Every structure is written in structure tokens, then in C-alpha cells.
Amino acid sequence: MKLIVGLGNPGKEYENTRHNAGFMVVEKIRFDLNFPDWQSSNRFKAFVSEGQIAEEKIILVQPQTFMNLSGQSVFLLANFYKIGPEDIWVIHDDLDLELGRMKISFGEHSGGGHKGIESIIDSLGSKKFPRFRIGISTSEKEIGTLDSSAFVLQKFNKDEKKIINEVIAKVKDSVILAAEKGLEAAMNKYNSL
């Protein structure tokens, strides 16, 4: 069993913002693989949808706690399903990667300033969970014209939307490959692109 957690902020005003790239990927997985509609769970402070990839039971998760408290939802789910950190796959935006890039990593040293990841590390007491990282950085951000917290809450413009949609499809494919053939197979294929 795997928990596949897409990070983001709930609510219409946050849809299609950079910080919600994780939400976008789990929605793409849910839709493309015909998982059931999202179920709102107060118990887990999340939207959840259960299905299968290959022989593996998959629980897709969109925490509804707001980004900075994502760990609350992940902890409740991990506790209930008795799932260890290595079976909790977290999909999130990453300011250290350029828009159009993705990277799969495991056991990163810290959250790298990403409050959602830091919350999950704190809640689980471990950094040993796979992360599917989605680049959202642009030259605008790199030259420092925008504060990070304002930048991540921006919506993608028309040109960026095309790029992010391609990356979302790629991340979805990498998650499916990881579920079918293992994390290493997905890392070998997608981290070299």
C-alpha cells in the first residue's frame, strides 16, 4: 500500500497556483486512472481517493489543512493505515528547480524551506520518504524580484500553464512507473531527463 500525497492549499483562490502543483498531479492520476471521486474525510483532514496501480493499493491524498500544516493529515493517515515513511510518496512544488523540470528524491536532508515538507518531516519524525519534486522557478524569481511566499501563490500564466501541464503528465507517469517497477526504476528514467 502507498499513500500518494499531493501538496497544496484548499480553496478556489489557490487553484492553479505554483504551490498547488502537487494537488494538480494527484488529480491527474485520479482522473486518468479512473480512481473514484474525491471523498472529504474530516478524520484525516484530507480529500482521499482509493484505487490500484498494478497490484498495489493506492490512496491518493490532498491534505485540506493548508500547506504549512500538511503533516497533520499525513500523520493521521500513516497512523491509521500503519504505513511507514518509505511508503508515503509526497508530490510538491520546488523553488530550487526550474519550471519544466522534475526530480525524484529520497531521504532529503531537510524541507529546503518548503513549509509543507517541513511539516511532514516534523509530524513523521523522519525524512525517509520519497519526494516527487516539481520545478516552479522562473527567471523572474531567480533575479529576486519577488518574495518567495508571494511567488508560490501566483497562478501560472498562459505560457507557463502549457509547460506545467507537460510536467504534471510526466510526474504522473513517473509515479505509475514507480508503483509498477519500483522507485529506483522511476528515478533512473526521470531524473536523467
Structural domains of the chain, ranges and CATH numbers in brackets: 2-190 (3.40.50.1470)
pTM of the model: 0.93
Q: Which residues are catalytic?
A: 19
- Check: CB of residue 118 under 8 Å from CB of residue 112: no
Cα separations (Å) of 158 from 8, 155, 162, 166, 169?
Answer: 20, 9, 7, 13, 17
Q: How far apart are CA 44 and CA 152, in angstroms?
A: 25
Task: Check residue 113 and give its pLDDT.
Answer: 78
pLDDT digit string, tens, across residues 97-136? 899 999 999 976 677 778 899 999 999 999 999 999 999 8
Average of pLDDT values for 155-170? 93
Task: Check residue 112 and give its pLDDT.
Answer: 72
Average of pLDDT values for 51-70? 95
